[in-house]
Structures are given as C-alpha cells and as structure tokens.
Amino acid sequence: MYGLAMEREIREQPTVLQNGPATYAPVLSQIREQGPFEMVLLAARGSSDNAALYARYLFEVKLGIPVSLAAPSVWTRFNATVRYPKCLAIGISQSGAAPDVSEVLEHLKQAGHTTVAITNTAGSRLTTVADHTILINAGEEKSIAATKTYSATLLALYELVRELSQALPAPILPDATWVENCFAEAQIASGPVVRSSPNFCLARGYGFSTAMETALKLMECALIPAKAYSSADFEHGPKALAGPNSVAITFDGAKPHLSENGCEVIQAPSNSAPDEIKPIWDVIFGQCLALQTARARGLDPDDARFLRKVTRTL
C-alpha cells in the first residue's frame, strides 16, 4: 500500500505532541527573559510558513504584538536593511536547512534582535545562527509530506505564546481515537475530492493555517489542484467558481449557501478543543484526506513527484 510512512507518521502525532513540550520548556523561559518585545518577525517556507500564519494569530490576539511574515528575498536578493523595533525573530524549518530562513535570522541577530529557531534537526544551520533553539523532538520523518513535524511546530508556537502571555491554559491535545476518526472521515471525503474540480479549502482566524496546509498537502501528495481562502475573502469573488462539480473543504462550519449553488461541502470532523488549539486537531484530518486521496488516485505520497524532503531556496 502506498503512503505507509506518511500514515505511520500521522499516527505517531498523539505521542509526539504529549512528549515534546517538556523537552524545550527551559528554552521558553529563557526567551521570555529577553522581552518584552515590540514586534515579532516570522521567517519560514512551505508547511512552516503555514505554521507561521497560525503563530501570527496567536501573537496578535493573545499578546497584542504586531507580527510580520518575513519576505526572505528582502535580504537574500535585494540586500536591504530594515529598521525594526525591539523584535523577536523566529525562524521555522523542520530540517533547519532552509538557507533563506537562516539568513533572515542572521541579519536580525546582527541588528541586535532576539532570534529563535524552531526545528526538528539538532545541529542544523538554523540552530547555529539563532540565539535560542526550540527542538520539537518529533523523531525522524521519512515521508516527504510534513505531518508530525508540522503539528509539533504548531504546539511549540502555542507553548511559546503561552510562556510569554502567562495566561493561556495547558493545551488539550488529540489522541489516537481522534486520528482514527480522521482517517475514517477522510476515506469518505476522498471520493468527492478526486471527482471534483476546483477544490477549495476554507477557514479563517486560527484555522486559516489549516486551510492553507490542507491545500498544500492535497497538491503535493495527491496532485489535486487546491486553493485555500479565508472564508471571508472567498465571498469577495472566488465563490463564483463554487458551483456544480466543485468541492469546498471547510474547517469553520457548514456552508449552506455553497451547497445550494451545487458545490459539495466537506466539513472537517468536529472536536471540543478551544479555538486556539483546534488547528492542531483539524490538520490531522487534512493530512488524512491528502493521504487517502493520493491512494485513491494510485499515487505514493512518500515519493511525491518532483519533490524532495529538504528544499533549499534563496
């Protein structure tokens, strides 16, 4: 069967999530001692960029700190100098090998700002340039698709904001039963996704990151063209395409107006986690959907077409 590594790593997530935070708790307190910060800069690519989007909502909603998602080419291609106020610069890369993310941190560190690496790879370039390293300790990830490293990164970002705010509750995390439920629901949903085009992934707020990550997973694993939108932005034009033969995968509730127009609406399974934690739960359904859809199309997501596990861009 195709995608056995991806399936195994999806199923490992409850254990990875339970065990991770205790290993990097001391680092979080060290980062808090460097504050308070006037802004946050997040540097990432691919799935890590979607994790950064989740962090943006957390920092701005829970701490009231303005957040910017870095455009690495500002430094790597244009050699610009940007004058930031007292900044917490966070580079996110599961491999720690992304050269553009590392360069952003190097520039911010040279300018006197506090820099943090969030990665799964000890001793990687990102860890050598950052002041502090949060190792997510997800274990080796063999499938090209990021699954357990992605959810572990979300949790690390939640725990960082929790440390800085001193107000967020301990996270409620998904268990093996939830993973099984996601696999079962994804098996049912994969049929419409395979048969339909276009495919949309919809959410907003904290969950927008999940819509983005699910669309990415459908493209890289199942070769399904998919586009993610904020549910609000979707109303400003793109929904004109949401008619017969289209699918909307939604992470923020039913969309009866889309169903009435002939679009097939797939709702992610519900859970009782707080809104700030839902993305860690919901993305597991997105991962399962990408895997089940790839299998339905006879594709192996462990050997995704034209892709490598580590991507280096400048």
pTM for this model (two decimals): 0.95
Q: Which residues contact 53 (CB under 8 A, 6 or more apart)?
A: 69, 208, 209, 212
Question: Which residue did the predictor score with more confidence, 71 or 250?
Answer: 250
Instruction: Tell me what pLDDT residue 128 has.
Output: 96
Tell me the pLDDT band of 119, cut-offs 50, 70 and 90. Answer: very high
Over 70: is that where the pLDDT of 306 sits?
no
Of 63-67, 81-85, 158-162, 284-288, the one with minimum mean pLDDT is 81-85
Q: Read off the pLDDT of residues 13-50 as tens digits, 9 standing for 90 and up.
A: 999 999 999 999 999 999 999 989 999 999 999 999 99
Residue 305: exposure state from Cβ atoms within 10 A (0-12, 13-18, ≥19): exposed
* Structure letter (DSSP) for residue 240: G
Q: One-letter amino acid identity for 202?
A: L
What structural domains does the chain harbor?
Answer: 4-165 (3.40.50.10490), 176-300 (3.40.50.10490)
Percent of the chain surpassing pLDDT 70: 97
Q: Could you tell me which of 38, 40, 21 has the C-alpha nearest to residue 115?
A: 40
Residue 260 has pLDDT above 90, yes or no: yes
| Residue 313, pLDDT score | 56
CA 296 centroid distance within chain: 24
pLDDT given for residue 305 in this prediction: 65
Contact in structure between 65 and 58 (CB atoms under 8 Å)? no
What are the CA-CA distances from residue 39 to residues 42, 46, 223, 263 (Å)? 10, 23, 38, 41
Residues 6+ apart with CB under 8 A from 37: 65, 86, 87, 88, 114, 164
